[in-house]
Structure 1
Amino acid sequence: MREALQARLDERGVSSAEFSDLMIRLLDRGVLCRDESKREAELYDRFLQVRELVEDYLAVLRIRLLHEPRFNLLRVFPPGAEVPGLPDTEDDSHALRQRLSQQEVALILVLRAEYDKSLREGQLDEHGQALLSLEALNLSMRNLLGRSLPETATERQALLRRLRQLRLIRSPAEMDTDSEEAWLTIRPGIISLVTDTALAQLAPQAAEQPEDQPEYETP
């Protein structure tokens, strides 16, 4: 199997080390977005060279791969996860899932709702992104879920950093989260993480569950 893989890599001009680098990064981060950085652009382009091999490799592990060419985005999901655009499976393994805090779940739900609103109103930019102020985000959280962003700047920064890692938003690393002039950008990849069904089902639950109880999971 190893020799067969190497032969197929050689045909595509990709070394085993380069393939390993791609797979490790994808499995470690769970997401690759070409416009995130020069490094991710290189890895995304490498994926295009060896797409079939990546899909075969992940299939053995029963890991699901979502490729959204219009956004130059790759996202992997654990076995059994509901993935927009992919058929459902009966595999209920949770071994590869990372737990999200209740605050993270709530914020992601609100961001998805705000993204849908911008989409309906034709307010997306040429990259399919939506601009939102922190003031508007906080107001939306109160209106939709009856809660607010964390009180301390440190907690707010940590929350935004987590969403940047998931490639769901863009925001300055040192954003002044106390400023009414602070803005963030919602990235279109949020659609692949939160399905319409999940949005409808999770919203009331997010409002009802205790703040410190992690309940939902993501790749």
Structure 2
Amino acid sequence: MTIRDALAEALEARGVGPDQFSELMIRLLDRGVLCRDESKKETELYDRYLQVADLVEDYLSVLRIRLLHERRFHSLRLFPPGAEVPGLADSEDGFNQGLRERLSQQEVAAILVLRAEYDKALREGQIDEHGQVMLPLEAFNLASKNLLGRPLPEALTERRALFRRLRQLRLIRTASDDGLEDAETWLTIRPDITSLVTDAVLSQLTGDGPDAEAPSSEELPS
């Protein structure tokens, strides 16, 4: 029996077709993240994952890709070999390229500030039942200035591109791009931010660790 035949047989036993499994894997490998509450499609794919979770994880393990399943928040996130993953044992793999997608310095800065603001809200108990944190755009901009000495992009096109990327990474929610010039606009920071920035990296940023230097994009799993 071939691997394909064995997989098809295992899928049939779970009521999932090969094409459905392929769609799920392609989506995961292409996006690297899946959140049930993001859309009707992602709800469907997440529920399908629950039917075949062991098969998905076996498939990914052959590639040495690790999957972090945040059951409380119904989200999945993939990490390439060698990435440090909160909540999972460290891997001994030394790969640094391949599935890693290099983030721009502006994206790294924004992600670090979001993580710091999420941690602050968590300590203060300002978190909703879904593990999300509400943050005014003005506070985000101010935190960026205070922590990293750089504000958010002033040009609307650059700001929209940055927030679009953060949404693609399933790190924030925004009502639309229309309010990105309004300081009173609110962002929703998703709990997945803790999967992308470890406590060690956060300590470097806030100066609580031995080296208070902000990390580069290479220190963030992506």
What TM-score, normalized to structure 1? 0.93
CA displacement at 1:202 relative to structure 2: 5.3
CA displacement at 1:135 relative to structure 2: 0.5
What aligned pairs does 1:1-219 form with structure 2 within 5 A after superposition?
1-93=3-95, 94-201=97-204, 204-206=212-214, 215-219=218-222
CA contact (8 A) 2:204 2:214 kept: no
Q: Which runs of no fewer than 5 residues in structure 2 stay unpaired?
A: 207-211
What TM-score, normalized to structure 2? 0.92
CA contact (8 A) 1:175 1:182 kept: no
Q: Secondary structure at the match of 1:89?
A: coil
AA partner of residue 113 (structure 1)? A
AA partner of residue 157 (structure 1)? R
Q: Which runs of no fewer than 5 residues in structure 1 stay unpaired?
A: none
Tell me the number of residue pairs that the alignment of Structure 1 and Structure 2 aligns. 214
1:71-119 per-residue CA deviation (whole Å, 9 max, x = no partner) reads 0000000000000011111212121100011111111111001001111
CA displacement at 1:178 relative to structure 2: 1.6
Worse overlay, 151-160 or 42-51:
151-160
AA partner of residue 118 (structure 2)? Y
**Which one has more relative contact order, counting CA pairs under 8 Å at least 6 apart?**
1
CA contact (8 A) 1:99 1:217 kept: no
CA displacement at 1:206 relative to structure 2: 3.7
Q: Secondary structure at the match of 2:91?
A: coil
1:141-191 per-residue CA deviation (whole Å, 9 max, x = no partner) reads 111111100110111111011000000000023232221221110000101
CA distance in 2: counterparts of 1:202 and 1:163, whole angstroms:
19
AA partner of residue 73 (structure 1)? S
Q: What fraction of aligned residue pairs are identical, expressed as a percent? A: 67
CA distance in 1: counterparts of 2:218 and 2:56, whole angstroms:
31
Q: Secondary structure at the match of 1:59?
A: helix
CA contact (8 A) 2:205 2:214 kept: yes
Q: Secondary structure at the match of 1:99?
A: coil
AA partner of residue 72 (structure 2)? R
Worse overlay, 35-44 or 126-135:
126-135
Q: Secondary structure at the match of 1:35?
A: coil
AA partner of residue 45 (structure 1)? D
CA distance in 2: counterparts of 1:14 and 1:30, whole angstroms:
21
CA displacement at 1:200 relative to structure 2: 2.2
AA partner of residue 140 (structure 1)? A
CA distance in 1: counterparts of 2:203 and 2:197, whole angstroms:
10
